[in-house]
Structure 1
Amino acid sequence: MGAGVWPYAGVHAASAGWGVAAALTLRAHWSVTERLRKEELLRCQGHHNTGADWAGCLDTRCSTSGYAVFLGGNLVSWSSKRQPVVSRSSAEAEYRAVANGVAEASWLRQLLAELHSPLAKSTLVYCDNVSAVYLSTNPVQHQRTKHGRSTCTSSVTGSPSAMFGFCMSRPPPSLPTSSPRLAMSEELAALDRTRTWDLVPLPSQIVPITSKWVFKIKTKSDGSIERYKARLVARGFRQTQGRDYDDTFAPVAHMATVRTLIAVAAASSWTISQMDVKHAFLHGDLHEEVYMHPPPGVDVPPGYICRLRRALYGLKQASRAWFQRFASVIYVAGFSPSDHDPSLFVHLSSRGRTMLLLYVEDMLITGDDPDHISHVKKQLSEQFQMSNLGPLSYFLGIEVSQTAKGLHTRSLARSALSDHPTAAIPMDLHLKLHPSNGTPLDDPSRYRHIVGSLVYLTVTRPDIAHAVHILTQFVSAPTSVHFGHLLRVLRYLQGTSSQCLFYARDSPLQLHAYSDSTWASDATDRRSVKGYCIFLGSSPIAWKSKKQAHVSHSNAEAELRALATTTSEIIWLRWLLADFGISCHAPTPLLCGNTGAIQIAHDPVKHELTKHIGVDASFTRSHCRQKTIDLQYVPSELQLADFFTKAQTQEHHRLHLIKLNASNPPPSP
């Protein structure tokens, strides 16, 4: 396949302006040599685009030809000109335009050779008429086209076939025309650079998979467009397990790990650097034989297909192959994976410690050894095509602001409710929703889409965690009532869009936690809701609001089950902090507002309402005895975990936000 190639849809010229364009054509021919001299070092494959406006001239019914010739990503020649004869079909008009474009491209190839920069790759010709493409590559005779072939064939096929390839390509209409073309160029260049496939004859009894182009707009933290991305994606759903793939699991970083890294770095006054790997999956090696039909834009001899060598996006095992490749490189650099989050890699030495957190292709690097961090960046850049994004500012949809006092993090929430009044709290007090409330929505997908976005927003907005937990229970069959309460959450977010979490510098690196539960609060199944919030110093790093799996006989039982869940999270975080080099020798304070649950957790009390919950009770009790946790009573007005189990009054909501270190971001410099 050709390096530097990117498909480009046909360019159509309006016949009314052909006179002006003809003058530009003369200018283009006069200046094209200078442009080629400037571009000759690119060594990119040439390509051009052709188009025709069939019978566009109302007086003569002649068509208008147009072409644009590119070298790499730069336009070097173009033309818009009325055809000398009337074409009987659109295919014929397009075919004549192709002939004109090929003639120009042939001249430019000769000119490049004279400039000592010959094109080693074939020139791709893009046309948006499939019949014209077929005529250009196959000796088809047809009543409406055979009379035109004698005048055009010499231009189209007179050069060796390896010099030109004819392709159909249409960027999606939702994106600006030029942007996906450049993105597709970069993607195809990366596929060639990493030798993603070998062209081989089609083996017998093999059914190749297919592929498609996927486009995405990558935005900056302010919502503006950073760049357009194009991905050639294999249709992995056609793969067969045991033949095309085996294991598929690949880890990604837990969001609690991300917050812990930010909290530790802020408290230790470390700089967090951000990098990402370009075309990450293309670095993963495939160990299975996977065959794929050639994608659009790739010139392939007849009878040949692509045998994949790299883990192309969309393959079942692509994520796993990439992670294994990255892990092998980072192991050589002296890093060890965390036993408690395999996406966290740690390097310890006499000079200091370095932490690297990987989330697919995005990574954060921090530590107290700047020289080693610079060395690691250099090592990674030697193995992969890296982007050094500088200090952390925008990661996984999270905006990070760094000040002398610490780090502020927030997720960017956008909604179309700017004309609606804002809400002071995300949900009504004593709200009881039922599946049968209201009338079913005609289009439930909108409800699901918004709720899904809110679930991710809870990564930095613990204040909506409980409201979102309630709304997620109705995604299968939402009603008008459910949607009304969803809009209330959006109105609350509209009024608090600037809110962020603050991670303070010099904060003590010690854990403490809050645990709470309601009792039989769900009106449908009478299950309780548990919630917890865990802090590292003054910074919240983990929280949850979730319905319990079982119906509890008493409030003490519900609270005890919540304590067991919170204890599990505390144990994991203590282990994770040990990987960061932070030892937790003292027991972690765990605050609970139910004296009965605390008593059962301390002593083997038998009671008719609690004796059946022995596992959760024994689990919590054992860690009390091992000094992993220190159970303490907290009065209701100071119980921060209430935030995650029930709706709050406006005053309590405001006080809880202060305790969560939620604030407005610092002013922009």
Structure 2
Amino acid sequence: MQSEFDGLISNKTWELVLQPCNVNIVHFYMHQPMGFHDPHHLDYVCRLKKSLYGLKQAPRSSYQRFAEYVSSIGFQHNTSNLSLFIYQHGDALSYILLYVDDIILIISSHDLRKSIMALLASEFAMKDFGPLSYFLGITVIIHACGLFLNQSTYASEIIARASMDSYKPSATPVDAKHKLIITSYGTPYEDPTMYQSLYIALWLASLSTPTEKLVSYTNADWRGCPNTRRSTSTYCVFLRDNLISWSSKRQPTLSRSSAEAEYMCVANVVSESCWLNNLILELHFPLPQTTLVYCDNVSVIYLSGNLVQH
């Protein structure tokens, strides 16, 4: 992320300026990204200097232009993922995944690929980089049985950024049961930007969800945070033997009982499972079996099965 942020500055796409007030001229601004604040200009914001595709409007306009064009050539907008477009005509099937100005094109035949690439090239300035090998921190290895996705390169970059690439690996690098308290260990860092940037990078790595049955496991650490006494919700979702989605996050509110904390966790994993089901359905690969959700709290199981409560 640091290199991308530096690229925005070096490419003169954004510049740091004082936050304007009572200005009639239309400009586009954003707050300095978390973890990348300029320590000498904390009250400054970023002002957009140029947009994608040569447009004068904000980048949202470039996305709207792309979406309208691919819709005109037969693609449908995916309702579960706004960056995904799907084309189906008989046996012909194609997907377009858009991230800013990077595109992944998945097609069912070589002729369809040539046709779609020609249509896109006639409207946008494009360059074909060949078979997919790396995208948004995910390395793609193509073999006879399909695709193998991993984030080893991205993880190595995070470790190098923290100057830990010379350290020896450990199966369990920290005590998983240790509770950190704000006032327990010395004074806070004067400049926590390095930690914040590493945290965001690891958080982005945890968002990766590659896509006949979904199985979800859930658990909650009731009042596990010693500072706020809030619980931590954790879940993981498997498609066959593949882990495709996971989360470990502190709950936004206090729970009066372990059952309440577990129930909130179950609600989160059910919401995630429904989203994954809808996404896979829109990809024209419906799951033949019902999703299973496992919870180790009997009270929550009975509460979830009580139709009066729902």
Please tell me the TM-score bracket, short chain as reference.
0.7 to 0.9
SS in 1 for 2:81: coil
Q: d(CA) in 1 for partners of 2:24 and 2:281?
A: 39
SS in 2 for 1:597: helix
Residue from 243, 259, 265 that aligns with 1:562: 265
Residue from 235, 244, 263 that aligns with 2:26: 244
* Equivalent position amino acid for 1:594 in 2: N
Counterpart of 2:299? Answer: 596
SS in 2 for 1:573: helix
Instruction: Kindly indicate whether residue 72 of structure 2 is the aligned counterpart of residue 332 of structure 1.
Output: yes
Structure 1 residues 514, 442: closer, same or farther in 2, change over 3 A?
same
**What are the residue-to-residue correspondences of 1:349-360 with 2, within 5 Å?**
349-360=89-100
Counterpart of 2:149? Answer: 408
Residue from 196, 216, 223 that aligns with 1:513: 216
Structure 1 residues 412, 428: closer, same or farther in 2, change over 3 A?
closer
| Equivalent residues of 2:213, 2:290 under 8 A apart | no
Task: Give 1:359 shift.
Answer: 0.8
Superimposed CA distance per residue, residues 297-340 of structure 1 (whole angstroms, 9 cap, x where no aligned partner): xxxxxxxxxxxxx23xxxxx521111011112211211010112
Residue from 230, 233, 237 that aligns with 2:13: 233
* Equivalent position amino acid for 2:273 in 1: I
Q: d(CA) in 1 for partners of 2:237 and 2:24?
A: 43
CA RMSD, 1 decimal: 3.1
Structure 1 residues 377, 447: closer, same or farther in 2, change over 3 A?
same
Q: d(CA) in 1 for partners of 2:164 and 2:52?
A: 41
Counterpart of 1:547? Answer: 250
TM-score relative to the length of structure 2: 0.78
Identity %, equivalent residues = 27
Task: Identify unmatched segments of 5+ residues in structure 1.
Answer: 1-213, 218-228, 249-279, 285-309, 312-316, 461-500, 606-613, 619-669
Residue from 161, 168, 177 that aligns with 1:430: 177
Q: d(CA) in 1 for partners of 2:176 and 2:232?
A: 15
SS in 2 for 1:582: coil
Counterpart of 1:135? Answer: none
Task: Identify unmatched segments of 5+ residues in structure 2.
Answer: 31-49
Residue from 216, 235, 239 that aligns with 2:7: 216
* Equivalent position amino acid for 2:53 in 1: H
| Equivalent residues of 1:513, 1:588 under 8 A apart | yes
Task: Give 1:567 shift.
Answer: 0.7
Q: d(CA) in 2 for partners of 1:239 and 1:348?
A: 49
Counterpart of 2:193? Answer: 445
**What are the residue-to-residue correspondences of 1:448-459 with 2, within 5 Å?**
448-459=196-207
Structure 1 residues 523, 324: closer, same or farther in 2, change over 3 A?
same
Q: d(CA) in 1 for partners of 2:232 and 2:186?
A: 26
Task: Give 1:241 shift.
Answer: 8.0
Q: d(CA) in 1 for partners of 2:85 and 2:192?
A: 42
Counterpart of 2:53? Answer: 283
TM-score relative to the length of structure 1: 0.38
Structure 1 residues 344, 529: closer, same or farther in 2, change over 3 A?
same
Task: Give 1:595 shift.
Answer: 2.0
Task: Give 1:239 shift.
Answer: 9.4
Q: Looking at secondary structure, tell me which structure has more helix per residue.
A: 1
Instruction: Kindly indicate whether residue 156 of structure 2 is the aligned counterpart of residue 365 of structure 1.
Output: no
Counterpart of 2:36? Answer: none
- Please identify the structure whose Cα radius of gyration is greater: 1
Q: d(CA) in 2 for partners of 1:242 and 1:578?
A: 47
Task: Give 1:553 shift.
Answer: 2.1
* Equivalent position amino acid for 1:413 in 2: S
Counterpart of 1:345? Answer: 85
Counterpart of 2:43? Answer: none
* Equivalent position amino acid for 1:580 in 2: L
Which of 1 and 2 has higher RCO (CA within 8 Å, sep 6+)?
Answer: 2
